[in-house]
Structure 1
């Protein structure tokens, strides 16, 4: 049974989400403020976190930042803030997805399923040897990346893209496959997301980001990892 932590300062909404998610088979933890959220995130190790930005004791972005210091647990932001600035701040801090209130329960559940797939680790991961391509090394088992022996910090989405590619060496991953796997249903046309994140990955990992050797683009089709 997967565990979801829901953080929101509206008790009625919190209770409604808890009832519905438990009916879907989730184990549900709840928190009304940032302090409780951080306590649960550290002590209970949820599989997915659903987080409101407007908390009474601290900004939700600060909660994301503190969680990301020690955890790569997928975080879905749930907020009434419609401005793009808030979305960008939350995503830059390490959130994986953003759902604006009011929202449909079916949509939120679909986002939860997608986030759960991104956050899951194969059972055989602990037996996997790091993938070393010379310019950088990817430790799939421990979800770590290093370049020239120095640790490289990736955002959750950057890691999800890199992991998907590295687990499929030499194979073309289409734009639609990547968007569906990492962003979830309904994102099949958002190809500009991929251009942005692939650019970030190349700047962090490739020796010459303008002429990548390992993180390759197949124009109009998708992306490929060449060891």
Structure 2
């Protein structure tokens, strides 16, 4: 395992503990003591995953998360002392892949980071899912829709991408909200309304790209894709 972990944490002791546990599991690590340095390191080193504290100097974790999301789809785990549902929901809505509250067990942090990396498909090189006029490239994280001979690229958050890929793997299946949480946001304590929020935004992006009615909500059950025969 050679994935690079960017640890954005202003507490040197906590960063040192995380570094030791990740290094023990074969990861490479790099440490940033503030959000701006973390952003610079993200641009130059292109880490495979970011662990970000929320309360950091110069640039806080929310701003760091938002900027990394604008740049692409690097998986991000928020690590914070804030244990309020509103903070957790905010992080997941913006696009965080997991949310861990201090004090934490570093062994659990490593395990959850591995799970996030697996979900992000870092080991699935070249895999492509095609459903109707939809093409999902799991390696490049690109989603395209063919409409009237024109290919339209969708700009999705990582969570939206994972949800769409999960639905597309079995397009005739109706997925319950709990199944989507388990498959795409395990360990995050995500609520049903969090999934609804992500899928509502995904539906709008699909509609704007010309795929009206592709993402269906099945009342009382969950969600599935509508695929033209």
Shorter-chain TM-score range:
0.7 to 0.9
Q: Distance in 2 between matches of 1:124 and 1:9?
A: 37
User: Take 2:89 and 2:174, find their aligned partners in 1: how far apart are those partners?
Assistant: 29
- Counterpart position of 1:103: 104
What residue in structure 1 maps to residue 11 of structure 2? 10
Q: Distance in 2 between matches of 1:65 and 1:195?
A: 20
SS at structure 1 position matched to 2:15:
helix
* 1:20-76 alpha-carbon deviations (Å, 9 max, x no partner): 122233222221112321232122222211001111222222222222222201101
| Contact 2:144/2:153, CA 8 A, preserved across alignment | yes
Q: Give the Cα separation in 2 of the matches to 1:142 and 1:69.
A: 16
**Conserved? CA contact 1:79–1:101, under 8 Å:** yes
The two structures, once aligned, show a CA RMSD in angstroms of 2.8
Say whether the 8 Å CA contact 2:7–2:52 is kept in structure 1.
yes
Distance in 2 (CA, whole Å) between partners of 1:175 and 1:86 is: 21
What's 1:144 paired with?
Answer: 142
User: Aligned ranges for residues 56-205 of structure 1 at < 5 Å?
Assistant: 56-121=57-122, 122-125=124-127, 128=128, 131=131, 133=133, 137-140=134-137, 141-145=139-143, 151-185=153-187, 187=189, 190-205=191-206
Question: Does the Cα contact within 8 Å between 1:47 and 1:119 map onto a contact in 2?
Answer: no
Normalised by the length of structure 2, the TM-score is 0.79
Normalized against structure 1, the TM-score is what? Answer: 0.79
Measured at CA, do residues 110 and 220 of structure 1 come closer, stay the same or move farther in structure 2, by a change above 3 Å? farther
State the alpha-carbon separation in 1 of the partners of residues 81 and 109 from structure 2.
14
Provide structure 1 residue ranges, at least 5 long, that are not aligned to the other structure.
none
Query: What is the CA-CA distance between 1:92 and the residue it aligns to?
Result: 4.0
SS in 1 for 2:71: coil
Deviation, structure 1 residue 181: 1.8
Deviation for aligned residue 1:146? 5.2
- How far apart are 1:106 and its partner, in Å? 4.1
